[in-house]
């Protein structure tokens, strides 16, 4: 597959703080690469270095096979960026904002107008064209933010937490739009700390912690790393420590925890784990409310690798 970005040993330090630590990775044409990591893990810093906004101490960055620099206009033409912070002009309407940013890339007026309309459709802001940013809700504003970054049909798109603080409906709209962009041939780098998003969206994931890559691969490959295959949670009023110990000795069980009225049993592998557990609870006459079984999430992977939760 064709490499779109090649990052070699990128290190970025702010005064005394190493935000990105010897990072190397490639991005391939047509994929959605997720950069997953908790707050402060260096996602935004990495993106800003890739875009030549930030100076960095060591490392090399090639985009479309050429070295990236602030004056690499040929490269920049093909890039679209949606920053973590909403960046729009308060004095311009939705349409004017998109038109302005698109105009920094596309000179031809007719073409520009078409692109602007398409972008408005993509993010679903048709009814808000004449609105000013402060008249938009948080979710709509995020959609505008995205439209401003991608209206010029870039081949390579950086999205830095575009869905932060967005309601589920808006979020689905945004995610659908991103998938459409990929289907139209764009390569996408997507940062987030929502693993759900990564799981439904990304072809490949890089997990960052403290500026370092701690794991990478497809979501399924990563889940293998978690060493667990099933996780069963039971809402239960109370349970004795002896019983917890007893359950730990069951077949396939990796760990048993009881926190805040929820019993969590994780299994390394095996079938019918849930049925066995229900039988046991019945036999012991333990009353429970809800019981559900889950596949491990990237959060579990993160927990396994770092010993801490992805989101706090």
Ligand X SMILES: Nc1ncnc2c1ncn2[C@@H]1O[C@H](COP(=O)(O)OP(=O)(O)OP(=O)(O)O)[C@@H](O)[C@H]1O
Contact 126, 140 (CB under 8 A): no
Q: Does 17 contact ligand X by CB under 6 A?
A: yes
Encoded one letter per residue, x for contact with ligand X by CB under 6 A and - for no contact, window 155-174 reads ------x-------------
Minimum distance between the CB of residue 290 and Mg ion, rounded to whole angstroms? 35
Beta-strand relationship, 58-63 and 32-36: unpaired
Q: What phi, psi does 223 have (nearest 5°)?
A: -65, -30
- Residue 272: CB atoms within 10 Å: 10
Question: Which of the residues 238 through 297 are near ligand X (CB under 6 A)?
Answer: none
Contact 70, 148 (CB under 8 A): no
Query: What are 232's strand-pairing partners?
Result: 265, 293
Minimum distance between the CB of residue 197 and other proteins, rounded to whole angstroms? 22
Q: Does 210 contact Mg ion by CB under 5 A?
A: no
Minimum distance between the CB of residue 83 and Mg ion, rounded to whole angstroms? 9
Q: Does 187 contact other proteins by CB under 8 A?
A: no
CA distances from 295 to 17, 26, 48 (A): 37, 29, 34
Give Cα 95 distance to the centre of its chain.
27
Stretch that binds other proteins, among 26-34, 91-99, 243-251, 261-269 (CB under 8 A): 91-99
Structure tokens at 304: 């396994």
Question: Which of the residues 47 through 66 are near other proteins (CB under 8 A)?
Answer: 48, 51-55
- Residue 264: CB atoms within 10 Å: 14
25, 33, 42, 102: residue in contact with ligand X (rule CB under 6 A): 42
DSSP SS3 for 16: coil
**Contact set with other proteins (CB under 8 A):** 14-15, 48, 51-55, 70-71, 73-74, 76-77, 79, 81, 83, 85-89, 91-92, 96, 100-101, 103-105, 107, 148-149
Contacting positions for Mg ion (CB under 5 A): 43-44, 84
């Amino acid at each position: 597959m064709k490499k779109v970005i090649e990052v070699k040993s990128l290190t970025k330090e702010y005064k005394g703080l190493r935000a990105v630590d010897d990072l190397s990775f490639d991005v391939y044409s047509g994929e959605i690469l997720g950069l997953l990591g908790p707050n402060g893990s260096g996602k935004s810093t990495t993106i800003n270095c890739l875009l030549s906004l930030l100076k960095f101490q060591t490392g090399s960055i090639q985009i479309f096979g050429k070295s990236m620099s602030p004056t690499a206009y040929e490269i920049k033409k093909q890039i679209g960026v949606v920053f973590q912070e909403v960046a729009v002009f308060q004095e311009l309407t939705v349409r004017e904002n998109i038109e302005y940013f698109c105009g920094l890339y596309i000179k031809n007026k007719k073409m520009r107008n078409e692109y602007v309309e398409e972008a408005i459709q993509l993010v679903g802001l048709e009814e808000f064209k004449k609105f000013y940013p402060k008249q938009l809700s948080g979710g709509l504003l995020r959609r505008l933010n995205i439209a401003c970054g991608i209206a010029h049909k870039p081949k390579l798109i950086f999205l830095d937490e575009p869905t932060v603080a967005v309601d589920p409906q808006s979020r689905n709209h945004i995610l659908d739009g991103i998938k459409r962009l990929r289907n139209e041939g764009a390569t996408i780098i997507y940062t987030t700390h929502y693993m759900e998003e990564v799981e439904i969206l990304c072809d490949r994931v890089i997990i960052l912690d403290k500026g370092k890559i701690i794991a990478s691969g497809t979501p399924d490959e990563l889940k293998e790393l978690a060493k667990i295959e099933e996780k069963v949670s039971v809402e239960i009023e109370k349970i004795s420590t002896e019983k917890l110990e007893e359950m730990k000795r069951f077949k396939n069980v990796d760990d048993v925890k009881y926190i805040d009225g929820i019993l969590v049993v994780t299994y390394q592998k095996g079938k019918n784990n849930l049925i066995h557990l229900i039988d046991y609870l019945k036999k012991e006459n333990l009353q429970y409310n809800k019981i559900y079984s889950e596949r491990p999430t990237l959060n579990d992977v993160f927990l396994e690798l770092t010993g801490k939760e992805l989101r706090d």
